[in-house]
Each structure stands twice: as C-alpha cells, then as structure tokens.
Amino acid sequence: MCLVLAFVVATTVAPASAEQLKRESATIATAGGSHTFDVEIADRADTRSQGLMFRKQLGAREGMLFFYDREQQISMWMRNTYISLDMVFIKQDGSVHRIQENTEPFSEEVILSGDAVLAVLEVKAGTAKEIGLRPGDTVDHPRFKAATNN
C-alpha cells in the first residue's frame, strides 16, 4: 500500500518534463556568409504556444523555428520568457521579411510579423547584428523548399 501511494504522489506532484522537440539544422545566408543553427521545430499549436518560455539559456547557434500551416500575419510575445531574443520573420520562400532584435524578457507587448509569413526563427539576442542579418537574406531549411513547390 505504501509503495502504491508513493507512486501516485510522485506521478501527480512531479512536474512534467518538457517534450523533446525535433532538432534540425537551418542555415542563414547573409552578405557575410552562411551561418548554421541547431533549431528545435515548433510546428503544432501546443509547441508554438510554449515556445522558449521558461528557458534560462540558449546557445549561440541554437534557436527555435516556428512553422505555421500557411503564410499568415504572426504575433508573438515574451510572456514567461527569461531570455532576450531576436525574432526573424520568414516568408514562404525562405526570405527574411523582418527582424525584431533584442526583445524584452517577460514583456506582453505584441510583436507583429508586419506581413504574412510562414515561419519565425528565434535566436539569442544580438545574433542578428553579429551575423549581419538583413531583410531579404535567406534561411535554408527543407520546409521552405517544400512550401514553394506546392
């Protein structure tokens, strides 16, 4: 009886472990060269809404790539996000539409894509400036190729 009670308490009190998201590579081509990132893929409503919330660190060449079912106006915020981020809004063809640099942790201010986009790449704040990222640069990932072939 004690063993069963301990199991029930442990499974109901212990916090759920974060789901392991699929990790893939995405390469950004800028005037200064190519920059490859190890990104987690958030392509479902639940993984997109969780995003990088509650994370306390992010590596220099790590990020999260949010994919949507179709191009649309995207809105993001920094609620429960400890890390300042650069948000890169990406069109269906992989071109960078807009960059929101150095977002404010925990802010509930809405950050808009400014136009219909297919994806958002979140990387550590300062990365866009460091690699010389500009609108019109491209992000290479198989989903952008697949989207333009449809």
Residue 47, both tokens = 């993984």
Does 1 score more than 50 pLDDT?
no
Give the pLDDT confidence of 22-41 residue by residue, as tens digits.
Answer: 999 999 999 999 999 999 99
Say if residues 140 and 93 touch (Cβ distance below 8 Å): no
Report in angstroms the alpha-carbon separations of 29 from 44, 52, 100, 137. Answer: 26, 24, 18, 6
- What residue ranges define each of the domains in the chain, with the CATH number in brackets? 20-148 (2.60.120.1140)
Residue 133, both tokens = 């990222």
Does 134 score more than 60 pLDDT?
yes
Give the pLDDT confidence of 38-77 residue by residue, as tens digits.
Answer: 999 999 999 999 999 999 999 999 999 999 999 999 999 9
